[in-house]
Amino acid sequence: MTTTNKLKLLKTVKIVVLIIFVPILLFYLGIIIPEYLACVNCVYEGEMGTDIWGDEVQCFGESKELGEAFFQLVSIIIGAFSIILASLFSYNYHLKRNLK
């Protein structure tokens, strides 16, 4: 496979990964993080937190534990996609540099 074909394939893969990554990142930054941060300081049973959008969030029992687990899961997914994208961009840079 020639270098130009590798670059074309790499560009296609980068676009597909970015199309998947951007909506997940927006969901993470817009919904998951504000709800998680609303419940960080809640320690008593039955408390309600307020996120940055002004919405009331239930911060007790299973909903708090589920929110923390969901936050950790999506954080790992975002981290994995970030590493994949960094690797793809680095490999792309390496191929372009060797092409010249």
Dump pLDDT digits (tens) for 17-63. Answer: 999 999 999 999 999 999 888 888 887 777 888 888 888 888 877 77
What pLDDT is recorded for position 77? 95
Q: Is the pLDDT of residue 7 over 80?
A: yes
What pLDDT is recorded for position 13? 93
CA distances from 94 to 77, 84, 85, 88 (A): 26, 15, 14, 10
Q: Which of 72, 76, 70 is nearest to 84 (CA)?
A: 76
* Model confidence band, residue 81 (pLDDT cutoffs 50, 70, 90): very high
